[in-house]
């Protein structure tokens, strides 16, 4: 199994890049493991307190479980990936069954942050997109998919998203083997990555 880590700031295009890679490699050969699914369950807190947690800090990801699942996939085992409800900040009861495939892509803002995860990657990619574009994408996503108001998204961005990006996400760029500007719109970079992956797997390396 060949493991790729795809990191970068919120709204940079990580998910788009991961999906395009999977489509080009062949979805039957490639699984995507999103860090967003591994947010810690906050159901033990009242809703008002859940809203005030800093979800842009790396400690909010249950990376230990993600590492365990990734190692199990590498061992040829099937795993049950958690799902998360971003409107209630709680983990859902249903899970996603993920079986081992030749390629697995770990994707999320902290994909290149955790040492134990990075050690398992065969290729580390950082998606580099301008701040204003990332903010607009996050604004649209959080309103449409996560039931947030414009004011709440702006307040969260200024108070936690931007400071946490500068402190914990941007520095992970130095861990990348490949830096992709412009995210999912960079066709040439994605084609180079896919060709590299296919060449490596065909060579048995």
Query: Tokens at residue 39, please?
Result: 């947010």
How far is residue 136 from each of residues 7, 131, 154, measured CA to CA in Å?
19, 9, 10
Structural domain span for residue 114:
2-199
- Decide if 25 contacts 138 (C-beta within 8 A): no
205 located within any domain = no
204 located within any domain = no
195 located within any domain = yes
Structural domain count of the chain = 1
Rounded to two decimals, the pTM is 0.88
d(CA 37, CA 40): 9
25 located within any domain = yes
Nearest Cα to Cα of residue 11 among 33, 36, 28: 36
Q: What is the pLDDT of residues 148-160, one digit of tens each?
A: 888 887 888 788 8
Mean pLDDT estimate for the chain:
90
73 located within any domain = yes
100 located within any domain = yes
- What strands, in cross-sheet order, belong to the sheet with 178-181? 30-34, 103-107, 2-8, 123-128, 178-181
Query: Residue 85 maps to which CATH number?
Result: 3.40.50.300
d(CA 60, CA 62): 6
145 located within any domain = yes
Least confident of 40-49, 70-79, 82-91, 141-150: 141-150
Residues in the chain: 205
Q: What is the pLDDT of residues 129-186, one digit of tens each?
A: 777 787 788 788 888 877 788 888 788 878 888 889 899 999 999 999 999 998 778 8
Is the pLDDT assigned to residue 51 strictly greater than 70? yes
């Amino acid at each position: 199994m060949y493991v790729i880590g795809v990191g970068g700031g919120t709204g940079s295009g990580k998910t788009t890049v991961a999906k395009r890679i999977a489509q080009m490699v062949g979805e039957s050969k490639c699984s995507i493991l999103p860090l967003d699914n591994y947010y810690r369950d906050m159901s033990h807190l009242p809703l008002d307190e859940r809203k005030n947690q800093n979800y842009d800090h790396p400690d909010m990801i249950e990376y230990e479980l993600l590492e365990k699942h990734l190692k199990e996939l590498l061992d040829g085992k099937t795993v049950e990936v958690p799902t998360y409800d971003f409107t209630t900040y709680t983990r859902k009861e249903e899970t996603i069954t993920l079986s081992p495939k030749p390629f697995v892509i770990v994707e999320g803002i902290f994909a290149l942050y955790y040492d134990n995860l990075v050690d398992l990657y065969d290729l580390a990619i950082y998606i580099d997109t301008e701040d204003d574009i990332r903010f607009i994408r996050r604004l649209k996503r959080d309103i449409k998919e996560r039931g947030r108001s414009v004011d709440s998204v702006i307040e969260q961005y200024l108070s936690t998203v931007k400071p946490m990006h500068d402190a914990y996400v941007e520095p992970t760029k130095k861990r990348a083997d490949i830096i992709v500007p412009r995210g999912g719109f960079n066709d040439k970079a994605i084609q180079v990555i896919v060709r590299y992956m296919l060449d490596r797997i065909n060579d048995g390396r």
